Copies of this chain bind each other. A is one copy, B any other.
């Protein structure tokens, strides 16, 4: 027992973690299939194997949650993913829209010593380039209190602290609009018609932002 997991098995654990993270309810077979871009039948297959290894709690037709050893592995993957993303942006000067795909590969490198030394080399960062918290070596996250830009009232000054989507086109688009981590925003107007909002960015330019974008940006009041 306790032989190293395949990248595939690791990806299932990570997906289940993320699906259960918010709601705390079990994840459905279909949700997992959707998250991993695979089919429900393949998921059922894998759930049986992961349950066999005591990494998940799986009840037929009732969904899946992680056991504590499953959660340990999942958080370690997220930790590695986010630390590598910091490495790629801070040390190799990649843009925040380029790092996710490479980190998807790097997160599967197996060496705790490597992870810990990388963390030290990066000066123990607490957040990744997208503003997501980096768990410590015990798997504890430092969650930040944050709200969606879409839920912020008018005339409140806020600062961008994160995004809820990591896909390249979205991040490139934000970059273009100067909507990067740390940017200061004030909502000037909200349009009923299409739920878009008018925001002032860094006390200089003023931009119209679609509802879709506003729902994917996390901000903090200052």
Contact = CB atoms under 8 A, between A and B. Distances in A.
Interface of A: 88, 91-94, 98, 101-102, 105-106, 108-111, 113-114, 117-118, 121
A110 B121 contact: no
Copies in the complex: 2
Contacts of A110: 105
What 5 A-B pairs have minimum CB-CB distances, sorted nearest first?
Answer: A92-B117, A105-B109, A102-B111, A102-B114, A92-B121
Contacts of A118: 92
Nearest to A93: B117
- Secondary structure of the A side of the interface? helix
Contacts of A105: 108-111
A218 to B, nearest CB: 28
A110 B108 CA distance: 13
18 contacts: A91-B121, A92-B114, A92-B117, A92-B118, A92-B121, A94-B113, A94-B117, A98-B113, A101-B111, A102-B109, A102-B111, A102-B114, A105-B108, A105-B109, A105-B110, A105-B111, A106-B106, A106-B109
Nearest to A101: B111
Contacts of A94: 113, 117
A131 to B, nearest CB: 23
A88 to B, nearest CB: 8
A101 B110 CA distance: 10
A94 to B, nearest CB: 7
